[in-house]
Structure 1
Amino acid sequence: MTTVAIPSPPGLPLLGHLLEMNRDMPGFLQHAARTTGPVSRVRMGPLSMVLVADPLLVHDMLVRRPQEFAKSWRTARLIQGHVGDGLLTREGGEHRRHRRLMLPSLHTQRISRYGEIMVGESRRLADSWADGQQVEVVEQMTQLTLRIVGASLFTVDDDGAEVFAAVHDFVNSLNAYLLSFGLLPGWLPTKTHRWRKASVARMDRLSYELIRQRRERGGDGGDLLSMLINARDPEGGPALTDAEIRDELLTMFFAGHETSATALTWACYELARHPEIAEKLRAEVAEVLGERPATMADLPNLPYLGQVVKETLRRWPPGWLFDRTPVAETELGGHTVKPGQVLFFSPYVIHTDPAYWPEPEEFRPERFAPGVEIPREAYLPFGDGPRICVGNRFAEAEIALVLATLVPRVRLEPVSDQPVRLSGQATIRPRGGLRMTVRKAG
């Protein structure tokens, strides 16, 4: 094994890079990757983590040697207190079992059934906006995707107001905890810790009530909850317990709307900044759909829409930060890494690497045009390997159908010409939100 020391960007005594990470974590990691090298050590107070910025090394971890790397203790500390032991945190055989049980609910045929809900909720949102109204796009997209997840994956019976409010509070408390980096022990009665416990307790009560009601009703409601209750492992594993179902529900409530809402926010931002792209997209949708609503079957006939979605996920990958830890001492990029060492990688950093993406900060859907070669290892908006996001097809379809519904009906114009600042929470968002002005079509 080599013993070459892992380089580190200049930092402060004791604090290391903590202040820079708090100020602009995505920007700091991007700068560290470009100035320090493909593998660099990042220090946050007493914590030391290793940033892996070379796409080939990340591919090696995720695809070629996934059995040698597990989710780190950092993941457990930061999110298990919220989502429990769902797909995000499980390992080994239990992860594979849960994935087998989850996949049928997110099969293409099932997603096609969800498409009508995606389009209907998008039309309702567009109809609720008035010409000239200013809207907070992050908030609007969050509420939209939450309603889509609630209706298509969990079939909330009434208007869902209580459940949606609880999920919104749950996700916000998780984001606040992520921003604290989990540096303080959970037993300390800080404001963030109290908020976390209260939001999780509220979601527990609602989740177990949803499970109880569905078990009493029986049958297959065509949604994720019904399928998890009725699922039987083809390889003979046990059925899921209520606690396991609860954990997957909270995982999907979080991951199933937060990432799509963020991607849609950035799509609106880029279309507003590039009216020529928006007009080209609008023309394609009009030619293919006319006045009728979009369906899943239309998506293959809307190639430019697909390019816009993929370029949005390249430029602004919602799942922007992941981690691993070696199972045993191993070598990575000429450095020895030991068990317990937190390794993390960022699709945001990789997707803006000029060695793979010319002028990476420019928004160019044509990067994904037919015949254009894509750097396979340098495009991973949903991760890669056996832990690639189980809901990736659902998310891409949702983003495409929402855009195909909104673009013909409204134009969103920036309220300010000031560049956005980034906030690296569970997803990468515009710091302070994104206000835009609605212009109704026609």
Structure 2
Amino acid sequence: MTTTSLPASLVPAPRAPGALPGVGHLRQLLVDPTRFLTGLPSYGDLVEIRLGPRPTYVVCGPDLVSEVLVRRHRDFDKGGPFFDNISVFFGDGLATCPNAKHTRLRRMTQPAFHPGKLPGYAELAGREVTALTREWREGQILDVRRLMQELAMRITVSTMLSSWFDDTGADVGEVRRTLGDVDVLVSGAFLRMVAPGLARLPLPANRRYARARDSLYAHIDATVAAYRRAGADRGDLLSMFLAEDGDGNALSDTEVREQVMTMFIAGISTTAAMLAWTLYYLSLDDDLDAAVAAEARKVCGGGPARHEHLPRLTTLMAVVTEAFRIRPSAWLFSRTAVTDTSLGTYRVPDGADILISPYIIHHRPDLFPDPERFDPGRWTGGTNSWAKAERTMAMVPFGTGARKCIGHDFTIMNVMLPLATVLADWKLTPATSRPVTLVGRSIIEPRNLDLRLHRRQVS
């Protein structure tokens, strides 16, 4: 254990009430996690909760987020309940690897996300949106969560792994099976985070989890092997991962698999959730929906949205930004203290688990008045409103600092452009009276989101 001289004035972090012997705050996290988490700032900017018998320190204030992710990030390595459990299937992917590996992996994978690559990826994504909407009909009811997962998967495959399915295209069954594997891993990761002991039991859910992981591993490994045999640059992300850098360095097959697994799961889950949430909020506001549609038609000229259109889709950008605020898909991530240290006035011991929740920060009323209200007007103060909020740690859906998500621009593009293309031609309205609820897994998703299609009448 590292020993550091700390001020004697430091105090232990306050503990949240309601922990039960042996399980801690497990019930609150499983039954209504967002309500539980958003109540924690009332106890302090750093609050201790229990995941089982183990203490976990939840960061509840933007200044302490900055301490962990930016100003003293070397005192806090990747680890803790979230990353310890998702690394079971991500391995040392860029999102989960320790700091000691991150610089090299970031340097090796960064070229795949160079701004110059995004227009080409956007064209591929546009084809998938066009193919999806070609079969839509007036009055059709969409299971939006499922449909956006399928769209996000097709976009992710076309831009990352162009030969994941054979060149004639995947059948519906194969797409659904792969989405099922992704769904099992996303669901299982959250349960393992809040109840890690369950992962060691011979339960059917754990066997499904292992099968899903092994299925995706096998598919990725076979695809990587095929790319290496062909030796051709397909212009996708995997081709970039397999290329040597200027010094002749390259990722190993295991490292390639870990990067692909990370970005495949994150790309599908995050993109799908944000597409679905944005469509949900627009379905509740006719005026806002009409404004977004009019902008999309004017900017895109009646065709698919392209990368070059992004700077002029300002109304849609405000809507998407607010969706990322109110329902950040990646709502929990963790760190581990690597030395005896402090956060604010609180003592943090070496080895302590640190939990950061963008959801908590985004729902603080001192940062966003009336935080449960969907209000894109918060982001109409200029094109850099999101960047300004990120600098103050008020807006951190992709993290921040040296380990900010490498694919943040890629993800925003893959949310914005499909929405612009769809909303220019189609209005979506609630199809049932069932309330849409939030599902708090490792990704925040909507449940019961059925929307009805109406073709827009354009004068």
Residue identity in the other structure for 2:395: Y
| Structure 1 CA distance for aligned equivalents of residues 394 and 434 of structure 2 | 29
Q: Given the superposition, is the C-alpha separation of residues 358 and 75 from structure 1 closer, same or farther in structure 2, using an over 3 Å criterion?
A: closer
SS at match of 1:436: strand
Measure how far apart 1:185 and its partner are. 5.6
Residue identity in the other structure for 1:291: G
- Is 1:20 aligned to residue 31 of structure 2? no
| Structure 2 CA distance for aligned equivalents of residues 251 and 426 of structure 1 | 13
Which TM-score applies when normalising by structure 1? Answer: 0.94
Measure how far apart 1:130 and its partner are. 2.0
Residue identity in the other structure for 2:221: Y
Residues 144-181 of structure 1, C-alpha deviations (whole Å, 9 max, x = no match) = 01000101111123313476445323322222322423
SS at match of 1:4: coil
SS at match of 1:413: strand
Measure how far apart 1:213 and its partner are. 0.7
Residue ranges of structure 2 left out of the alignment (5+ in a row): 1-6
| Structure 2 CA distance for aligned equivalents of residues 323 and 12 of structure 1 | 20
C-alpha contact (below 8 Å) 2:124/2:158 kept by paired residues: yes
| Structure 1 CA distance for aligned equivalents of residues 244 and 328 of structure 2 | 32
- Is 1:384 aligned to residue 400 of structure 2? yes
Residue ranges of structure 1 left out of the alignment (5+ in a row): none
Give the corresponding residue for 1:195. Answer: 208
Measure how far apart 1:429 and its partner are. 1.2
Measure how far apart 1:29 and its partner are. 0.3
Count, aligned residues: 438
Measure how far apart 1:217 and its partner are. 0.9
| Structure 2 CA distance for aligned equivalents of residues 237 and 44 of structure 1 | 45
| Structure 1 CA distance for aligned equivalents of residues 427 and 303 of structure 2 | 19
Q: Given the superposition, is the C-alpha separation of residues 47 and 140 from structure 1 closer, same or farther in structure 2, using an over 3 Å criterion?
A: same
- Is 1:174 aligned to residue 180 of structure 2? no
SS at match of 1:348: helix
| Structure 2 CA distance for aligned equivalents of residues 39 and 93 of structure 1 | 27
Please, which of 53, 57, 60 is the counterpart of residue 50 of structure 1?
Answer: 57
Measure how far apart 1:383 and its partner are. 0.5
| Structure 1 CA distance for aligned equivalents of residues 198 and 30 of structure 2 | 19
Give the corresponding residue for 2:443. Answer: 427
Please, which of 365, 380, 401 is the counterpart of residue 354 of structure 1?
Answer: 365
Measure how far apart 1:5 and its partner are. 2.5
Residues 339-361 of structure 1, C-alpha deviations (whole Å, 9 max, x = no match) = 22111111111111111112222
Give the corresponding residue for 1:119. Answer: 126
Which TM-score applies when normalising by structure 2? Answer: 0.91
| Structure 1 CA distance for aligned equivalents of residues 399 and 12 of structure 2 | 28
C-alpha contact (below 8 Å) 2:78/2:99 kept by paired residues: no
Mapping of 1:272-421 within 5 angstroms?
272-371=283-382, 374-375=388-389, 376-417=392-433, 419-421=435-437
- Is 1:441 aligned to residue 452 of structure 2? no
C-alpha contact (below 8 Å) 2:83/2:333 kept by paired residues: no
Q: Structure 1 residues 417-426 or 47-56, which shifts more?
A: 417-426
C-alpha contact (below 8 Å) 2:358/2:396 kept by paired residues: yes
SS at match of 2:305: coil
Please, which of 100, 107, 110 is the counterpart of residue 100 of structure 1?
Answer: 107
| Structure 1 CA distance for aligned equivalents of residues 127 and 80 of structure 2 | 41
Residue identity in the other structure for 1:214: Y
RMSD of aligned residue pairs (Cα, Å): 1.9
Residues 306-352 of structure 1, C-alpha deviations (whole Å, 9 max, x = no match) = 21121111111111111111110101021110122111111111111
| Structure 1 CA distance for aligned equivalents of residues 306 and 183 of structure 2 | 32
- Is 1:259 aligned to residue 270 of structure 2? yes
C-alpha contact (below 8 Å) 1:354/1:360 kept by paired residues: yes
Query: In percent, how many aligned pairs have the same letter?
Result: 32
Measure how far apart 1:237 and its partner are. 7.8
| Structure 2 CA distance for aligned equivalents of residues 237 and 17 of structure 1 | 50
SS at match of 1:429: strand
Residue identity in the other structure for 1:31: G
| Structure 1 CA distance for aligned equivalents of residues 328 and 410 of structure 2 | 15
Measure how far apart 1:230 and its partner are. 1.3
Q: Structure 1 residues 164-173 or 96-105, which shifts more?
A: 164-173
- Is 1:206 aligned to residue 222 of structure 2? no
- Is 1:220 aligned to residue 237 of structure 2? no
Measure how far apart 1:23 and its partner are. 0.4
Q: Given the superposition, is the C-alpha separation of residues 69 and 127 from structure 1 closer, same or farther in structure 2, using an over 3 Å criterion?
A: same
Residue identity in the other structure for 1:98: L
Please, which of 244, 247, 269 is the counterpart of residue 231 of structure 1?
Answer: 244
Mapping of 1:141-152 within 5 angstroms?
141-152=148-159
Residues 204-243 of structure 1, C-alpha deviations (whole Å, 9 max, x = no match) = 22111101111111121111111111132x5x58421111
C-alpha contact (below 8 Å) 2:336/2:351 kept by paired residues: yes
